[in-house]
Structure 1
Amino acid sequence: MGRIVNRFSSDIKTIDTNIPEEWNDLFTCISIVGGTLFAIAYSTPEFLFLVPVLALCFIWIQNYFIKSSSSLKRLLSVSKSPLFQHFSETLAGVSTIRATKGLKDRFIQQNDARSDTIINRYNAYNLDARWLEIRVEVLGAFTVFIASYLSVLSAARLDTSLIGLTLSYALAAVRVASYLVRTVSEVQNILVSVERVDEYSQLPIEAPVETVSWLPPNWPAEGRIVFKDYSARYRDGLDLIVKDISFTVEPAQSVGIVGRTGAGKSSLTLALFRIIEAADSYWARASDPSYAHDHPLTALYSGTHGNGGSIEIDGVDISTIGLRDLRQRLAIIPQDPTLFAGTVRDNLDPFKELSDKDLWEALDRAHLKAHISSLAGGLSFEVTQNGENFSVGQRSLICLARALLRKTKILVLDEATAAVDVETDDLIQKTIREEFKDRTVLTIAHRIKTVMSSDKILVLEKGRVQEYESPKDLLKDKSSLFYKLAEQAGELDKQ
């Protein structure tokens, strides 16, 4: 995160502000130096013979300087990312840092260490610039000496005022030439920012946003989900996180997805929304830039999937659907409910498509109408960044209201009640049972209790499907993995 913030703040600022200024200074210096050399050459033509020698000296010094200064500039830019990352982590966990003994001193030490790294590299960069300045000034003084010496030799044929003009121009040329060399060097150094931003522009891109092939306007109309031998990994070259998964979710069916930590439960959600792609599919292989370059987008819709399988919703392979078209037709209540800075209305209806009546109705069905009504402004109440002026449970209920407004046929709950109290959990489960009974619901469960009323239970273990039956049938089999999970959670005594 720190690297991204650095490149989209410091580097972009350099490109937008510093580069135009430095280029303007560069052309100004070139014009002044050119005019000055012309004036000196006019009065003392002998000086022209020394111009190539002096130019080579200036260029040699500059090139010698650039080798170190570019590396130092790059190191300076890189060292800012850990500090930005540290700032983000500190702000996000400031309450925990203050409450935990010894953690405050540790974060202060880390901040000091990262700051010292930046300061040390900045000082090294400045010392490098002083090295350049000393040598340019010495070479400039030598240039003035040569111009003065030639003027004295030509005193018999030159007017006194012309000699004075030559010397004054020579003195000015020294200052401008020194600034010119520094400007040329600075232009090359700040191009490091262009190089760093260009690196991000070369990163592999996601799949197309919009659907190329025809898609029914009411898709998905039923909400039938089919996983066919589906496998996926987080990045090309890593191990598979889900392996040869095959199961079918019928329309309006509720399926609870359970398993131990790392079993691949949340990975199914990422796969359904195409945050990750099927293994060896075009877009999975395109995470390697060399592959994306050598294999243009020609076989995306060819129907081939390598050995990564596929996911179909109402008979449509989701790999042939644009990301925006796919994600807009699914609803999710995530484990960490997200709210954005703005009003409650903006968070419920960001595209201003619904009336306030619809919003209040959704809040009522999500059991949050009374609380929002008590706030100053109601729907116009300002939500702070990340919704910090709402509790985790209230944020989950707002996300639930948002899902109700979407009216999609598929709802995914990614451990949505893992961080909320039991009362809020009961409210969410009650609303889901009442309001989503005609929709397909996938519930990734942290508490076994939340999926006991599901039509079917999908049990994952090490990225594979171990069991897929109704809760009643699985609990009858004492050797089943779901039975053991329910026993550990103390749910058997409640049956």
Structure 2
Amino acid sequence: MQLVSVERTEEYSTELPSEPQQLNEQLPAAWPEQGSLEFCNVVLAYRDGLPNALDGVSLVVQPGEKIGIVGRTGSGKSTMFLALFRMVELKQGQILLDQLDISTVGVAQLRSRLAIIPQDPFLFSGTIRDNLDPSKRHLDQQLLDVLDQCHLSTVVCRMGGLDAEVGERGKFFSAGQRQLLCLARALLTQAKVLCIDEATASVDQKTDKLLQQTIRQTFQDKTVLTIAHRINTIMDCDRVLVMHAGKVVEFDTPTALCQTDTSIFHRLVGGRGD
């Protein structure tokens, strides 16, 4: 059974196609400066023969806008993030970040300029410092500052500071604390665009409220895309995007959608609450 891991390692290292490694030498160091996003007739399929996971998605997100994303399972919500991070290449169309087509940017360059808080908060075995700043680019004081912003300074101090071990997959922290650590890691990137993939799906209401409050305070001038697990977490967003079968079916302010009786979002709010 242990030799299966050797077989898999050999298969993954020799048979799987690699991502493109090219870099855009002309890419400005400060890109993206504004955080505007534009999806232009985006079509994406996970492989040939499967239905399109995104089917002609077109929308514009202004710099600093807070967008909530809702829809049934399989509607294309998470696929939008995969397309933005170029985890899966587009079949058709383009995505513009600050008016620049992201397909012309190196994959590593692109992902280093974006931030994401995943649904499952992943921590590596190692120290708090290693998890916050794996590239060793920041000073200790910067790490302590973001921990304070994320209400974790007391917990970290009690554990012994930045060199305290987080345990395997972060087992020494609760689910909510792991999410806050991922938020602190995102803060350090200084990214203009933050993607939140149902980050509060597995935490209690108190931690959910703390996370939402911290995100509003620390990313108030950034573009934030949030896949919603609880409707109340996106009611104060600038606009709500409703997805269905890989298409955009509604994209307006929460107030406007709630006042439209035929709106899918109106039915979600009225029938399910949070």
Structure 1's 419 and 478: CA in aligned 2 closer, same or farther, altered over 3 A? same
CA distance in 2 between counterparts of 1:390 and 1:224 reads 35
CA distance in 2 between counterparts of 1:335 and 1:258 reads 15
Asked whether the 8 Å contact 1:255–1:441 carries over to 2, the reply is yes
Q: What runs of 5+ residues in structure 1 fail to find an aligned partner?
A: 13-196, 280-307
What does residue 222 of structure 2 align with? Answer: 439
Higher helix share: 1
Structure 1's 206 and 236: CA in aligned 2 closer, same or farther, altered over 3 A? farther
CA distance in 2 between counterparts of 1:4 and 1:455 reads 50
The reply to whether residue 220 of structure 1 matches residue 32 of structure 2 is yes
Structure 1's 398 and 221: CA in aligned 2 closer, same or farther, altered over 3 A? same
Q: 1:249 aligns with which of 42, 61, 80?
A: 61
What does residue 268 of structure 2 align with? Answer: 485
After TM superposition, the structure 1 = structure 2 runs for residues 81-92 of structure 1, keeping only pairs within 5 Å, are: none
Task: State the SS of the aligned residue for 2:173.
Answer: coil
Deviation sequence 1:313-336 (CA, Å, 0-9, x none): 001111111110000000000000
Give 1:4 shift: 7.4
After TM superposition, the structure 1 = structure 2 runs for residues 28-427 of structure 1, keeping only pairs within 5 Å, are: 197=11, 201-208=14-21, 210-212=22-24, 214-279=26-91, 308-375=92-159, 377-427=160-210
What does residue 5 of structure 2 align with? Answer: 5
Deviation sequence 1:207-255 (CA, Å, 0-9, x none): 22x4235211100000000000001011233221110000000000000
What does residue 239 of structure 2 align with? Answer: 456
Asked whether the 8 Å contact 1:338–1:386 carries over to 2, the reply is yes
After TM superposition, the structure 1 = structure 2 runs for residues 455-474 of structure 1, keeping only pairs within 5 Å, are: 455-474=238-257
Question: When the two structures are superposed, what TM-score results if normalisation uses the length of structure 1?
Answer: 0.53
Structure 1's 6 and 367: CA in aligned 2 closer, same or farther, altered over 3 A? same
Task: State the SS of the aligned residue for 1:342.
Answer: coil
Name which structure has the greater RCO, CA cutoff 8 Å, separation 6+.
2
**Structure exhibiting the larger radius of gyration computed from Cα positions:** 1
Name the % identity: 47
CA distance in 2 between counterparts of 1:479 and 1:3 reads 57
Asked whether the 8 Å contact 1:213–1:321 carries over to 2, the reply is no
Asked whether the 8 Å contact 2:232–2:273 carries over to 1, the reply is no
Deviation sequence 1:422-449 (CA, Å, 0-9, x none): 1111111101111111000000111111
Question: When the two structures are superposed, what TM-score results if normalisation uses the length of structure 2?
Answer: 0.95
Give 1:8 shift: 4.8
CA distance in 2 between counterparts of 1:438 and 1:235 reads 37
Task: State the SS of the aligned residue for 2:162.
Answer: helix
Structure 1's 6 and 202: CA in aligned 2 closer, same or farther, altered over 3 A? closer
Structure 1's 232 and 4: CA in aligned 2 closer, same or farther, altered over 3 A? farther
Asked whether the 8 Å contact 1:212–1:322 carries over to 2, the reply is yes
CA distance in 2 between counterparts of 1:206 and 1:382 reads 32
Task: State the SS of the aligned residue for 1:257.
Answer: strand
Asked whether the 8 Å contact 2:260–2:266 carries over to 1, the reply is yes
CA distance in 2 between counterparts of 1:410 and 1:316 reads 14
After TM superposition, the structure 1 = structure 2 runs for residues 8-27 of structure 1, keeping only pairs within 5 Å, are: 8=8
- Structure 1: which amino acid aligns with 2:151? H
CA distance in 1 between counterparts of 2:3 and 2:89 reads 25
| Bigger mean CA offset, 383-392 vs 454-463 | 383-392
- Structure 1: which amino acid aligns with 2:263? S
